Structure 1
Amino acid sequence: MARITINGTPHDVDAGALLLDALAQAGAAVPHACHDPRLAPGGACRLCVVEVEGQGRPVASCAATVEEGMQVRTHTPALEALRRTNLALMAAHYPSQAAASEPSRPFHQLLAHYGVQAQDEPRHHQFRDDSHPYIGVAMDRCIHCARCVRICEEVQGQFVWETLQRGEHTHVAPGKGATLLEGGCVSCGACVDTCPTGALFDKRSPAVPETWTRTTCVYCGVGCQMDVASAGGKVVAVRPADHPTNRGHLCVKGRYAYEFNHAPDRVTTPMIRRDGAWREASWDEALDFIADRLRAIIAESGPDAVGVLGSARASNEENYLAQKFARVVLGTNNVDCCARVCHTPSAKALKAMLGTGAAANCFDDIEIAGAFLLCGVNPTENHPVVGARIRQAVLRGARLVVVDPRRTELAELADVHLALRPGTNVPLFNAMAAVLIEEGLLDQAFLAERVTGFDDFAAFVAAYAPERVAGDCGVSAADIRAAARIYAGAGAAMCFHGLGMTEHLQGTEGVMTLINLALLTGNLGKPGAGINPLRGQNNVQGSAQMGCDPATLTGSQLIKDAGPRFEAAWGCRLPATHGLDLLQMMDAARAGRLKALWAFGYDIYLSLANEAATRDALAGLDLVIVQDLFLNETARAFGTVFLPAASFFEKDGTFMNSDRRVQRIRGAVPPPGQAQPDWWIIQALAGRLGHAQGFAFDSPRAVWDEVRALWPDGAGLSYERIARESLHWPCPDEDHPGTPVLHQSRFPIGQTAALAPIGFVPTPETTDETYPLLLTTGRTLYHFNAGTMTGRTPNTALRPTDTLDMAPADAAQLGLADGEPVRVHSRHGTATLPLHVTAQVQPGQLFATFHCPELFVNRLTSTVRDRQVRAPEYKVTAVRVERG
């Protein structure tokens, strides 16, 4: 603390704080127009000036820091006159009608407070653009505070807005295009959020908010906190919250893609399919129907003839109840979730080698990392807020290695881009390990204290020297060596990976090769380091962590270890048979052994690889229960009963993000019609099946308290604490501060971890004369998974369709033109997509997104699965392409 005098009164304020903030803290706030706490101080508007004893002229308090003994005057007549003069200069070209019609704008409040009138003088230059679906432009209101320019540079890092020309011709406009979108705008809305006048505004917020509700974003696994505005029972706007996870920032999906919640095709009444047609039903009728069918199936075929699938879009509490329902009510361990097809390989590798199947470090470490190793992950599109933070760290000097077949946005900034051939992750990272050992780029102290198996591993990995494997990987040996040196030489290097690592034949083993690199260099157990999977969906970490996995209970505890505790708490015996995972359920359904499936918040037909195999499996089921917001593709083709669920905007609970934070969700609006939260539906069905006891929670909080009682690492995460703190598990009691960095002194498996020699096993999905091109699938910035939510928002104007991305050389060779429909054939199926010719992909390789149900890209993907956990190999499919 520092003691300063403000207007003659001493105050204790934070030492080193911005003077502007200290004044506000002391109750002597000063006006400002160019300041935003997310930005570096600007000092341009001169409204926040104060008099500081010993300074010859007024000081901009937004650019000065507190010093012990300061004597400050904030509202002298001279200062107030100066502020009034500066406001008058800003208002000279300002429209008076704007100030009168929107008095709540910060700049308009300042004009009113100081009695300054807008003068309506016309401007010489004014940018105009009405083409953006979300962001409106009214540059007659621009006061040249440059906040839009600075936030686009300093927070998002997109550099769209620029201050152009000088003098009376000065104006703000996109510098690289005639419109916002042509200029590279990614529609994050940060410029709108910071604008004090409404020169930039949200087009789609017509209603005056009645209530603001703090909640957690439902899209990717970053876990951004946001404030939701509601009016008339509908969501009308979303704003970013100032929180450690997202630091006052959101992406286009979190900020703008909320209108799905009130889409006209939202299903709000239970339905039963009778005689091939959906017919509305009451909750009693639908639940009684399901209960009768389940009883009959279990009586005839046993409890293991039924499967339950949790949801990455449901809360932790709901996923906990789903797996409890499977085990207690049905009597089966046949319970899984969508983590199976994306990040179960990460969880398996991390848990097997280190003891915890989750990210080792937290997002706060991004700003202190010396280098980043990004492997099969494209965060600026798929985890945009984290991607922006990584980009800013690199712009400040952090080193960057990107491992990705495509030339992604961050690959453009990379010191080294390893554009490997899809399917060669294992030999590439083995080669990096070989370089570390050969060149002595090791943390010897960490190896001696925390690592075993070095000699055997060194002998094994020597066969993967870069010069031996570079050709197979499609990259140069020199680049492999350069990447290894950057990773080892940074002091602290943070590794992030995504589905480009996990969705392979050797997905689990590929992640293990990354862990080897961290063990060799000591990049575990310290800030700015770690092996960190970026989870693709908002609660994919939580759904699996809550026990939606056939082999583990809540807290990722093995059944053989934790089973007796759960049996005592639940008052029953756990099923003795080993459960089926999602892919095994599909196999069992095709074989006639699985008879019924309950899936909520998960369109498995559209999402699973190899549509033909999934279709055969689902067609063989006697009962398919779909619980969702909309009649998804699984329901359309195969559903027996549809149960309308409440969205995350309409219920309470918690999500768990990628860096192990448990965060609240809170209902902002009521569910429409008869829709109900998933936890209510699960409990209602449990009661009908004779298990009301154990499923009689009156709120998600009560469910969470049972979770905490059974999960030792989450015992300290009470609702009260997570409402006021940003906590990472493990957090074993309510006095524990949480654990942002894992493995600091030991691993959960012991003092040491063993290096894992991983041999390369090539995928059987290879090219030949008939199928000469390799297809990889993935996400895009503007859409999310099956498009269930984003496809019902104006994001469709920003990205109307999936495309097949092809290198210019391949398009020329095949005689294909950009934009034309092309027919893609694999050994497994056919799909037709519009062609996008781009240099982002290499010759011989293709990329496609999978968000449009009508295009159904998973008709192409193969039956290959991860060797350990059976995640499908979405990332390597041999295809040929012809004119559509």
Structure 2
Amino acid sequence: MTATGTPGTSGTSAETARAAAGTPAESGTALRICPLCEATCGLAVTVEDGRITKARGDRDDVFSRGFVCPKGASFGELDADPDRLTRPLVRDADGRLRETGWDEAFAAVAAGLGPVLADGDADAVAVYLGNPNVHTMAGALYPPQLLAALRTRNFYTASTLDQMPKHVACGLLYGDPQAIPVPDVDRTDHLLILGANPVESNGSLATVPDFPGRLKRLRRRGGTLTVVDPRRTRTARLADRHVAIRPGSDALLLTAMVAVLFEEGLTCTGGLAPHLSGVAEVRELAREFTPEAVEDACDVPAADIRALARELAAAPSAAVYGRVGSSTVEFGTLTNWLVDVLSALTGNLDRPGGSMFPLSATARAPRTGGTADGATAVPGKGFALGRWHSRVSGHPEAKSELPVVALAEEITTPGEGRVRALLTLAGNPVLSAPDGERLEKALGALDFMVSLDPYLNETTRHADVVLPPARPSRSPHFDFAFNALPVRNQVRYTRPVLPPGPGERSEAEIMARLLLCLAGTPGAPAHTVDDAVIARALGRAAADPHSPAHGREPEELARRLTGRDGVERRLDMMLRLGPYGDGFGARPDRLSLEKLLAHPHGIDLGPLAPRLPEVLRTRSGTVELCPEPVRRDVRRLRTALHGRGTAESLVLVGRRHLRSNNSWMHNVPALRGGSNRCTLQVHPGDAARLGLADGAHARVTGDGGEVTAPVEVTDAVRAGVVSLPHGWGHDRPGTRMRVAAAEPGVNVNQLLDGTLLDPLSGTAVLNGFPVRVTPAAGTPSGSGQESAHKSASAHESPSGAGAETASAAAPGAG
């Protein structure tokens, strides 16, 4: 590995000096990494009189090179949203939330959680993390300490609403659920995309600034783009081949492609072969899933399936990329497993132009060994599912998480381990999960609830204490999660653009004080939390013979750390101990916080490089292509294949808008209007058959309830499929999101009762489920307002087939 790569070019000397120093200014130009989706583009923002008046792409950013989407351009408007909370809220005896000071708010947290914790039942406190936690430094750094302090098994996140199948598949294949290969888009000759629309979403579980430009460059250099999606998305319009698959049948299609590879002798694992196990077992599993056997279920001709497999195998290099649309279905884990199996069988796993494992600057430094490339497999404990189960329905845990759909019953069902208190961090599960009305009612049965969130949304309005973090412009930014998923290794950090406003508290300080409340020392200085984390981490590093700090005194190492506060000191420590780090002076030409600050546009760390077997943590030390949980679930797929008919019932998928990101982005005026509308897209043939007219209203009914939405007749959806966007349904009383409430739309998750799950990952089936569509008798009160039916509730779907979610960037999203 190179030490620090090539620094980015600088802008004006004054801008560079200011950015390097990270000095907030009331006026001028400053740099900021955009926190509004997973692309992490660099922004250059104009500040006038303490307010961001303009945001544009930073042309000198080493990663994004000036690209910006409408969300990034609206950063200033979002930052200044007048509906953001600026002071804590505490619920009075009369049940009303009122503004208060920080000391009183934390005293209320200690008083509310104290009696629940005192009973000694750790599982009586539940934690829910929303997607925005991975978009902030504090959201990445402090939740592990909160969970360790609580020792609860009632841990829930938005991952079981969008991406958990990918984590489970990678955990089973590589032994590490965080070892996620990404498509090497810049070097591939053939890109196969399933259930993703990165032209509009900017990508997910793959950090790719300017995904549209990269796809166009792929085509210009003679590469091939194939998109499998039931909708003709903006991504599909760029494709050489668009396969309009029946929603939910991705696993059948991919298994048939695997069968073709074996049947026609197209497998070629090459140098990857020594690192693979289970190849013969995969061949046997796929044998009966021939293209002819699955074509009716997928509604894709057998000849086309064979062509897909042959083209993938024949390409000089190829990458397969599947996301939310192929995850939030009944076979989501199998689909994600098959994505990587196809890469392995064609020799495209862990090689340039294929699917590769990035190396973050804050990752654990690779352990070197005796292989030719300097890396060796370190057999690990592997990855286990179902180490414990939810109390009521017995849902197995995955990656220490329980399915979000289990939370309501864990609150309302009496008995030992009942959830009595809830801590939500940057989340809105009342909208983001199925069966939201049941969850909303359950929140009323809690003894205590505290939310860290800048919005009074559909979930936080039930909290006893709401703790709002400072605005994004007042926060530093480093992408811990997304730097582990980029299509090119790089490292960037930006300090706050503006100083904190009156009474504002950073998210880091709020989380640290929450930890102190749990420790029974609410009055202790917040920095003591960071000091303790640093001391433990440096102690482990000093004792680790593989660490560059081995044998050093932890106290001496701590004194060498730089940074203005605990967050920066922790970042400096992680950079120095990481794979590109200076090892606290052992490798002085390498990375540290000071060196990173000297390059305000970031440091390029080079293209992705092969990392097998280094990344493996399986018990065998190989990529285990046929793990037992997958083998068992293929039996379920076999049953589904033989039980599938070709009935004409409609199925529903979500969709993504370029100028939208979960429910809270609807509160930004600049991002409303245009194509960003809550409509039911219907194919012209289905519209004629059902008596639906463009612009009229239709009633959509599912197992959980119904909604009424305006119809948009379009051939962008295939016949038999209807589509509603996620993130709408802002019609609940007691929230403070006025722009969103003015045009509430309808919430697609109202159609679900929460009983459909991918059993391996616990992920809710949010796409490809059957619905009934009929003309509505009349327009309901309020544009696009939902009909109340069967105690139906408003929900926010964070994902959709071909309409992937990029996690929201400010607390308050689902």
Cα deviation code 1:88-133 (max 9, x no counterpart): xxxxxxxxxxxxxxxxxxxxxxxxxxxxxxxxxxxxxxxxxxxxxx
| 1:284–1:217 Cα change, 3 Å | same
Task: Look up the SS of the partner of 2:455 in the other structure.
Answer: coil
Q: Is the 8 A contact 2:175 2:383 kept in 1?
A: no
Given the superposition, is the C-alpha separation of residues 318 and 651 from structure 1 closer, same or farther in structure 2, using an over 3 Å criterion? same
Q: Is the 8 A contact 1:361 1:742 kept in 2?
A: no
Question: Equivalents in 1 of 2:341, 2:681: separation in Å?
Answer: 33
1:797 deviates by: 2.7
| Partner residue in 1 for 2:652 | 775
- The equivalent position to 1:271 in structure 2, one of 71, 82, 89, is 89
Q: Which amino acid is 1:849 matched to?
A: P
Per-residue deviation at 1:319?
A: 2.9
Give the aligned partner of residue 632 of structure 1.
457
Q: How does 1:783-862 map to 2 (within 5 A)?
A: 783-786=660-663, 788-799=664-675, 801-852=677-728, 853=730, 854=744, 855-862=746-753
Contact 1:259 1:792 in 2 (8 A): yes
- Could you say if the C-alpha distance between residues 651 and 345 of structure 1 is closer, same or farther in structure 2, counting changes exceeding 3 Å? same
What amino acid is aligned across from residue 825 of structure 1 in structure 2?
A: T
1:520-569 deviation per Cα after TM superposition (whole angstroms, max 9, x unaligned)? 01111211110789xxxxx9x999xxxxxxxxxxxxx98999xxxxxxxx
Alpha carbons 1:311, 1:319 under 8 Å: kept: no
Counterpart of 2:547 in structure 1 is: none
Shift of 1:862: 4.2
Mapping 1:501-650, distance limit 5 Å: 501-530=326-355, 580=402, 582-592=404-414, 593-636=418-461, 638-650=462-474
For residue 253 of structure 1, give the secondary structure of its aligned residue in structure 2: helix
Aligned CA distance change for structure 1 residues 748 and 440 (closer, same or farther; 3 Å): same
Contact 1:209 1:236 in 2 (8 A): no
**8 Å Cα contact 1:313/1:601 also seen in 2:** yes
CA contact (8 A) 1:802 1:851 kept: no
Is this contact kept in 1: 2:440–2:459, CA < 8 A?
no
CA distance in 1, matches of 2:382, 2:259: 38
Distance 1:471 1:267, change over 3 A: same
Change beyond 3 A, Cα 1:502–1:662: farther
Residue of structure 2 equivalent to 1:868: 760
> Cα–Cα, structure 1 residues 645 and 715, in superposed 2: closer, same or farther, change >3 Å?
farther
Larger radius of gyration: 1
- Letter paired with 2:567: P
Corresponding residue to 1:251 among 60, 69, 75: 69
Asked if structure 1 preserves the Cα contact closer than 8 Å seen for 2:317 and 2:348, the reply is yes
In the alignment, is the contact (CA less than 8 A) between 2:185 and 2:353 conserved in 1?
yes
Residue identity matched to 2:608? P
1:418 matched to 2:249: no
Note if contact 2:128-2:156 (Cα within 8 Å) is conserved in structure 1.
yes
AA of the residue aligned to 1:645: P
Aligned counterparts of 1:874 and 1:746: Cα–Cα separation in 2:
35
Quick one: distance in 2 between partners of 1:558 and 1:675? 44
Aligned to 2:529: 695
Give the direction of change, closer, same or farther, for the CA distance of 1:331–1:738 in structure 2 (3 Å limit).
farther
| Distance in 2 between residues matched to 1:843 and 1:424, nearest whole Å | 15
Secondary structure in 2 matching 1:318: helix
Q: How far 1:264 sits from its partner (Å)?
A: 2.0
- Distance in 2, Cα, partners of 1:542 & 1:342: 25
Structure 1 residue aligned with 2:562: none
CA offset at residue 344 of structure 1? Answer: 2.1
Secondary structure of the corresponding residue to residue 222 of structure 2: coil
1:353 aligns with 2:173: yes
Match of 2:623 in 1: 753
User: Quick one: percent identity of the two aligned structures?
Assistant: 29
1:356, distance to aligned residue in structure 2 (A): 4.3
Q: 2:569 & 2:772 partners in 1: Cα distance?
A: 54
Please give the residue correspondences for 1:434-449 in structure 2 after superposition, counting only pairs within 5 Å.
434-446=259-271, 448-449=273-274
- Identify which range, 437-446 or 821-830, moves more after superposition: 437-446
Residue identity in the other structure for 2:197:
N
2:498 pairs with 662, 669, 693, which one?
Answer: 669
2:52 to 212, 223, 235: 235
* 2:546 paired residue number: none
Note if 1:428 corresponds to 2:253.
Answer: yes
Q: Does 1:319 align with 2:140?
A: yes
SS in 1 for 2:230: coil
Match of 1:478 among 303, 312, 320: 303
Q: Which moved more, 1:347-356 or 1:675-684?
A: 347-356
Distance 1:239 1:789 in 2: 18
Q: What is the Cα deviation at residue 778 of structure 1?
A: 3.2
**Structure-2 separation of matches of 1:846 and 1:532:** 36
Residue type at the aligned position of 1:682 = M
Residue-by-residue CA offset, 1:220-260 (whole Å, 9 max, x unaligned) = 21221112221111111111123343222111111235412
Separation (CA, whole Å) in 1 of partners of 2:101 and 2:36 = 31
Note closer, same or farther for the CA distance 1:579–1:845 as it changes in structure 2 (3 Å cut).
closer
Q: Residue type matched to 2:622 in 1?
A: T
Aligned residue among 298, 317, 330 for 2:117 = 298
Unaligned runs of 5+ in 1: 1-21, 28-207, 534-538, 544-556, 562-576, 729-736
Measure the CA separation in 2 of the matches of 1:755 and 1:361. 15
Match of residue 195 from structure 1: none
Find the partner of 2:189 among 370, 374, 382.
370
Q: In 2 relative to 1, CA 634–799 (structure 1 residues): closer, same or farther, beyond 3 Å?
A: farther
Residue number in structure 2 paired with 1:743: 611
Give, in angstroms, the shift of residue 441 of structure 1.
1.6
Partner Cα distance (2:412, 2:580) in 1: 39
The separation in 2 between residues aligned to 1:421 and 1:488, in whole angstroms, is 24
- Deviation track 1:163-202 (CA, whole Å, cap 9, x = no partner) reads xxxxxxxxxxxxxxxxxxxxxxxxxxxxxxxxxxxxxxxx
Structure-2 residue corresponding to 1:283: 102
User: Post-superposition shift, 1:807?
Assistant: 0.6
- In the alignment, is the contact (CA less than 8 A) between 1:349 and 1:512 conserved in 2? yes
Instruction: Letter of the 2:41 partner, please give it.
Output: C
Q: Does 1:344 align with 2:145?
A: no
Matching residue's letter, 2:448: L
Cα separation, partners in 2 of 1:747 and 1:578, compared to 1, 3 Å = closer
1:683 pairs, out of 512, 515, 519, with 512
**Count of residues in correspondence between the two structures:** 636
Tell me if structure 2 keeps the 8 A contact 1:426–1:760.
Answer: no
**Could you tell me whether the CA contact under 8 Å between 2:125 and 2:420 is conserved in 1?**
yes
Structure 2, unmatched stretches of 5+, are 1-8, 13-24, 204-209, 364-379, 385-398, 532-564, 584-590, 731-743, 777-814
Q: CA deviation digits over 1:345-393, x for unaligned, max 9?
A: 2122113202444575567x42321010101100111117213311331
Question: Which secondary structure state, in structure 2, belongs to the residue aligned with residue 652 of structure 1?
Answer: coil
Alignment CA distance shift 1:727-1:609 (3 Å): farther
Letter in 2 for 1:874: L
Counterpart code for 1:347 = H
Taking structure 1 as reference, are residues 294 and 469 closer, same or farther at Cα in structure 2, changes over 3 Å only? same
State the distance in 2 between where 1:801 and 1:764 align.
Answer: 35
Q: Is the Cα contact below 8 Å between 2:256 and 2:305 reproduced in 1? A: yes
Q: Residue 599 of structure 1 aligns to a residue in which SS?
A: strand
Secondary structure of 2:757's aligned partner: coil
* Contact 1:405 1:841 survives alignment (8 Å): yes
Q: 1:654: Cα distance to partner?
A: 1.5
